[in-house]
Amino acid sequence: MQEITITQLPDPSGFNADPFTDIIRDGARKLIEQAIHAELATLMAAFSNEKLEDGRARLVRRHGHLPERDVMTGIGPVPVKVPRVRNRGAYDDKITFTPSILPR
């Protein structure tokens, strides 16, 4: 019988993949996304009654999502989707949404 000489190297990120960690990461992802959606709802409510110079409503709307990105947390990288926002108005008066809880 041959002796196995392959050495198992540790994960360079320092995080092991196990079912419990996956459950915690999924919970962290949901919690981060809920906070982002609450912040977005506040932004949209702030501009809901605003009008343009010609009297039309500003219309701040969700417009899909930005590409999914990993946010580094204490339990490792967590994939997060951030909603995209668009609005009707002049180009220099554009409203952008950047969640305060996520790094740029």
Give start and end residues of each alpha helix (H) in the chain.
19-46
Left (φ > 0), alpha (ψ -120 to 50) or beta: where does 76 sit? left
pLDDT tens digits, one per residue of 52-98: 777 777 778 788 898 999 988 888 889 999 998 887 666 557 777 88
- Domain ranges, ordered by start, for the chain: 19-93
Q: pLDDT grade, residue 4 (50/70/90)? A: confident
Residue 34: pLDDT above 60? yes
pTM for the whole thing?
0.72
**Contact of 46 with 26, CB cutoff 8 Å:** no
Q: How far is CA 88 from CA 47, 53, 61, 84, 96, in A?
A: 11, 11, 9, 14, 12
